[in-house]
């Protein structure tokens, strides 16, 4: 495993880390704590020291599993946790001092720590970024010692840019072979502010594994079944906002032109790490055996200029319109 400085936090994060949306279960399935702990242990043994979670993942079970896992590890691990999606309805007015403070305190309880390493507002509505109250609240919680750092998880590049107006340490953003726009201007801006970048949805909900076909079926409660048109949350979270059939076609072309064989997923993760603005990438895993598949991406060869151009060409051909203009 290789490590990169995580912005102004000064933590050296594993290049390939672990996102815990699927921890202990596949999307929509019941949570299994035994699988969750085994997956976390496997990640740690493989050199992963950065873990991304949220208060809504498995209704807090993800955080509670992490609490057991991090006991005794001290500053060897870093847990970034998101808050805000427990709001119902999920509206801008809910991002106020009372709610944010309660969510942070609940996370302290779930993770069984005195201070949270990093708190991210969890993809709030765009208008929240134009209201300083949530950020001033996080400043206050930082002064009180309840949180060490804070930042935002965003849907849109513009939201990440606006967040740089505040004292953030990190931005979590969708960036992958089907979402190239963050690298156009935003990454340089983040580097100039010494803000760490967490690249999420790195495999476009699995499309960039190159293993899906038009006949692939997903579980009835899986967001890849239920959220293709944004019925539950932002459509960009599912397949990175790419039309499924188009995504399958684009992934197949990438697989062929990159001579990826059965390693397109690893190459997709390695592509993300070609940007030195990215601090860490957070593929998910629901089982321990999936960890090795993820972490070996850090050892993949660097992309050649020709390979980089292939990715851009496929993006321009299939994905740019309309994805670039929405997110």
CB 204 within 8 A of CB 93: no
Q: Contact 295/32 with Cβ under 8 angstroms?
A: no
Write the DSSP symbol of residue 303: P
Pairing status of strand 50-54 against strand 78-83: parallel
Burial grade of 125 (CB within 10 A; 0-12, 13-18, 19 or more): middle
The per-residue pLDDT for range 295-318, each reduced to its tens digit, is: 999 999 999 999 999 999 999 999
What are the structure tokens assigned to 106, written together? 């609940």
In tens, the pLDDT along 9-23 reads 999 999 999 999 889
pLDDT one-digit tens code per residue, 69-103: 999 999 999 999 999 999 999 999 999 999 999 99
Q: Are strands 3-5 and 18-19 parallel, antiparallel or unpaired?
A: unpaired
pLDDT at 229 over 90: yes
Band (8; pLDDT cuts 50, 70, 90): very high
In the chain, beta strands by DSSP E: 3-5, 12-14, 18-19, 50-54, 78-83, 118-122, 150-153, 170-174, 196-200, 278-281
pLDDT at 28: 67
Question: What's the CA gap between 54 and 185, in Å, rounded?
Answer: 28
CB 224 within 8 A of CB 239: yes
- 254-294 pLDDT, tens per residue? 999 999 999 999 999 999 999 999 999 999 998 999 999 99
In this prediction, residues 92-115 reach a mean pLDDT of 98
Query: Is the separation of the CB atoms in 241 and 230 below 8 Å?
Result: no
pLDDT value at position 30? 82
Band the pLDDT of 5: cuts 50, 70, 90.
very high
Mean pLDDT calculated for residue range 97-123:
98
Tell me which DSSP letter residue 271 carries.
H
Q: Give the H or E element holding residue 103.
A: helix 97-111
Q: In the block, which residue shows the tokens 């496997």?
A: 42
> Which pLDDT does position 286 carry in this prediction?
86
Query: Can you tell me which residue has the tokens 């990440």?
Result: 160
Q: What pLDDT does 144 receive?
A: 98
Kindly indicate the confidence band of residue 171, based on its pLDDT and cuts at 50, 70 and 90: very high
Q: List, for residues 24-39, the tens digit of each pLDDT value.
A: 777 667 889 999 999 9
Give the span between the Cα atoms of 135 and 133, in whole angstroms.
Answer: 5
Can you give the C-alpha Rg of the chain in angstroms? 18
Q: Is the pLDDT of residue 321 over 80?
A: yes
Q: Which two tokens stand for residue 323?
A: 């994805």
Residue whose pair of structure tokens reads 């001092």 in the numeric block: 97
Secondary structure of 18-45 in the HEC alphabet?
A: EECCCCCCCCCCCCCHHHHHHHHHHHHH
Q: Which two tokens stand for residue 213?
A: 């076909």
Asked whether 118 and 150 are in contact (CB, 8 A), the reply is yes
Residues near 81 by beta carbon (within 8 Å), at least 6 away in sequence: 52, 53, 54, 55, 63, 107, 111, 116, 118, 119, 120
Whether the Cβ atoms of residue 66 and residue 25 lie closer than 8 Å to each other: no
d(CA 12, CA 280): 10
The token pair at 125 is: 């509505």
What is the tens place of the pLDDT at every residue in 149-159?
Answer: 999 999 999 99
- Could you give the percent of the chain with pLDDT greater than 70? 99
């Amino acid at each position: 495993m290789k490590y990169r400085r995580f912005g102004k936090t000064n933590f050296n994060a594993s290049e390939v880390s672990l996102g815990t949306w699927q921890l202990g279960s596949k999307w929509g399935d019941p949570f299994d704590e035994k699988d969750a702990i085994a997956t976390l242990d496997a990640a740690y043994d493989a050199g992963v020291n950065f873990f991304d979670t949220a208060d809504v993942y498995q209704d807090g079970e993800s955080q509670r599993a992490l609490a057991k896992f991090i006991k005794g590890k001290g500053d060897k691990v870093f847990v970034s946790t998101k808050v805000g999606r427990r709001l119902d309805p999920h509206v801008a007015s809910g991002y106020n001092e009372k709610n944010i403070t309660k969510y942070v305190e609940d996370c302290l309880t779930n993770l069984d720590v005195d201070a949270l390493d990093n708190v991210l507002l969890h993809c709030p509505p765009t208008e929240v970024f134009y209201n300083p109250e949530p950020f001033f609240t996080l400043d206050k919680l930082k002064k009180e010692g309840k949180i060490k750092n804070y930042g935002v998880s965003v849907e849109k590049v513009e939201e990440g840019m606006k967040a740089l107006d505040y004292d953030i340490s990190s931005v979590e953003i969708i960036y992958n072979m089907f979402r190239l726009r963050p690298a156009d201007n935003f990454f340089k801006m983040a580097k100039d502010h010494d803000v760490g970048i967490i690249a999420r949805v790195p495999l476009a909900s699995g499309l960039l594994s190159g293993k899906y076909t038009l006949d692939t079926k997903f579980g009835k409660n899986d967001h890849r079944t239920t959220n293709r048109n944004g019925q539950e949350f932002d459509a960009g979270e599912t397949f990175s906002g790419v039309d499924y059939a188009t995504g399958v076609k684009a992934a197949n072309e990438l697989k062929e032109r990159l001579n990826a064989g059965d390693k397109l997923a690893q190459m997709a993760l390695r592509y993300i790490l070609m940007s030195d603005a990215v601090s860490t990438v957070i593929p998910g895993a629901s089982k321990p055996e999936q960890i090795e598949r993820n972490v070996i991406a850090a050892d993949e060869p660097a992309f050649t200029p020709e390979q980089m151009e292939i990715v851009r060409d496929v993006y321009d051909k299939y994905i740019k319109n309309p994805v670039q203009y929405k997110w």
